[in-house]
Amino acid sequence: MNAITVRGVTKNFGELSVLKGVNLDVQQGEIFTLLGANGAGKSTLINILTTLSLPNSGTVSIMGFDPRKDGNAVRKLISLNAQTATLDGEFSGAENLRLIAQLRGVRNERAEIAVLATRLNLTDFLHRKVKTYSGGMRRRLDIAMSLIGNPQIVFLDEPTTGWIPRTGWSFGR
């Protein structure tokens, strides 16, 4: 079974036709990258795949579920790292991570947070309030948030914004 199947998806905003019959297949275990100019419709498609928006026509399957009919089933399987971070600046990085871990029902919360913090190089500032973070620090924390609870499919919308490439960090599982 494909992780994601998209067939003939269209999306209009009034007169503006943004998606004009999108087809794609993403296998389980595959890293799939969507490239396009600003305004091409990447975020619009991600919104449809993550149950945040409905297409005007076409079909979508996420691990066999239709986001239109089985929104809850889809939301249990996925995580979304949206273009705007959803971090709470008044909480520390660790507190933000714990919040998501609890919402996702993660059992070994401490261990999982420690592993992700090491992997994304967050450990040194995890105790600080997020409002004191740089853009890149926020982005990395936001990515750690989207990996908590081992979701089957992770959607990352422009995940490298503000992130200066450096060797030694990895998202890999």
Ligand X SMILES: Nc1ncnc2c1ncn2[C@@H]1O[C@H](COP(=O)(O)OP(=O)(O)O)[C@@H](O)[C@H]1O
Q: Which residues are near ligand X by CB under 6 A?
A: 13, 18, 36, 38-44
Q: Does 43 bind Mg ion (CB under 5 A)?
A: yes
**Cβ at position 24, least distance to ligand X in Å:** 15
Nearer to Mg ion, 20 or 127 (CB): 20
- Please, where are the H alpha helices in the chain? 42-49, 71-77, 93-103, 109-119, 135-147
Cα angle value 165/120/2 (rounded, 5°): 90
Q: Does 50 bind Mg ion (CB under 5 A)?
A: no
Nearer to Mg ion, 78 or 156 (CB): 156
Q: How far is CA 114 from CA 79, 97, 98, 152, in A?
A: 19, 10, 11, 20
**Cβ at position 23, least distance to ligand X in Å:** 17
Name which of ligand X, Mg ion, none residue 36 binds, using a CB cut-off of 5 to 8 Å depending on partner kind: ligand X
* Residues of this chain that bind Mg ion (CB under 5 A): 42-43
